[in-house]
Amino acid sequence: MTSRTAAERALGEYLAHLAIERGVSEHTLAAYRRDLDRYCAFLAGLGLTELERVAEADVLAYVEALRSGSDGRSPLAASSAARAVTAVRGWHRFALEEGTTTADPSAAVRPPASAKRLPKAVAVERVEALLEAASLGDGPVPLRDRALLEVLYGTGARISEAVGLAVDDLDLDGDVAAVRLFGKGRKERVVPVGRYAVEALEAYLVRGRPELARAGRGSPAVFLNTRGNPLSRQSAWAVLQAAAGRAGLSEHISPHTLRHSFATHLLAGGADVRVVQELLGHASVTTTQIYTQVTVQTMREVYAAAHPRARA
C-alpha cells in the first residue's frame, strides 16, 4: 500500500473536522472530498506534498487549471470552479488555525466570477399581448392592471418605483407627459411617458382608482388594492403573472423582464446608451452597456440570416 503524503493526511483531518465538528451533510462532504482530492493531485503534480510549501502562485495556477482543464481533468464552469476554490480556501484556513501551516496562501485568491447573464427581452408583439391580457374583464382592477404594466414597460421603472408612485408624481397634462420615480437611495428622476401609458393611466385614474379608493383612507398612491391601500410589490408581481398566463406566454416574465425589454427595445430603435442610462436610473453607464450586448447579438443573428455572403 502506498503511504499517504502529509497533504493527504492533513486533508483527512480537515474532512473529519467538517463531518464531526461542523456536521456537514454527506452530500456536501462528498463534494468537498471530490474538489480537494483534485487539488491534492494538482499539488502532487507540482511536487508539493506538504501544505506548508504551497504558495499563492500555486493556488492561482490551480484556479486556472480548474477553468482550462490543464491538469488533465475536465474544465469547470465558473460556478463549479468557485465552489472548488471555496473548498481550497476553507482547507488552508483550517490548516493555519490548527497550526499545521504558518501562512494561508489562498487568503487573497478569489473564486472566478460567473459570466453575467444577458437579460432576457420579450419581443414587442409578446409585450403587446401581455398588456392586452392585463385589461381583460370589467371593473376597476383590469384598468389598474393595464395601467401598471403600461407604466412598467413604458418607463422601465423598477417594481418598487412603480408601486411607490403617488398621484402627485404624475404629470400627464404637459407638453411631454412624465412621471417622477424614486430609485435606489431615494434618488429622483423624471421619465417621459408614452401615449399608450398615458391613456391607460387616465382611464384608470378616472374610472378605476376612485372606486378602489372608496374602500380605503385616502392613500396618495397611484396603484391601490381592492381595500384602498397601496398595491404591494408582491401583488404587482401577481398581476404580471396572471396577465402572462392569460396571454399564453411560456417564457418566464417578471417585472424586471419588462425593464429589460424597455431598455433593449430603445437601444434597438437607435437610442443613445447614455439616454437609456438616465431613463433606467443607473449610476454608471457600465451597468447599462450590458443591454448593448443584447442588441449586438440580435444584429449578428439578423446579419447571419439575411446577408447573402454571411454564410459559407
> Which long-range contacts (C-beta less than 8 Å, at least 24 apart) are formed by 94-101?
94/14, 94/17, 95/10, 95/14, 95/51, 98/13, 100/10, 100/13, 100/51, 100/52, 101/51, 101/52
Distance from C-alpha of 153 to C-alpha of 253, rounded to nearest angstrom: 12
In the annotation, is 158 catalytic? yes
- 8 A C-beta contact, residue 32 and residue 84: no
Q: If residue 15 lies in a helix (H) or strand (E), which one and from where to where?
A: helix 6-16
In the annotation, is 291 catalytic? yes
163's grid cell = 408601486
Q: Pick the catalytic residue: 209, 259, 260, 265?
A: 259
In the annotation, is 265 catalytic? no
- Give the residue from 244, 195, 204, 238 showing the smallest Cα distance to 222: 204
Q: Sheet harboring 178-182: ordered strands across?
A: 170-171, 178-182, 188-192
Q: Phi/psi at 259 (nearest 5 deg)?
A: -65, -45
Q: Pick the catalytic residue: 39, 153, 204, 291?
A: 291
Q: Pick the catalytic residue: 9, 110, 184, 187?
A: 184
In the annotation, is 184 catalytic? yes
Other beta carbons within 10 Å of 265: 19
Q: Pick the catalytic residue: 9, 256, 274, 300?
A: 256
In the annotation, is 259 catalytic? yes
Q: Pick the catalytic residue: 158, 209, 260, 265?
A: 158
159: Cα within 13 Å, side-chain hemisphere: 16
Residues tagged active-site: 158, 184, 256, 259, 282, 291
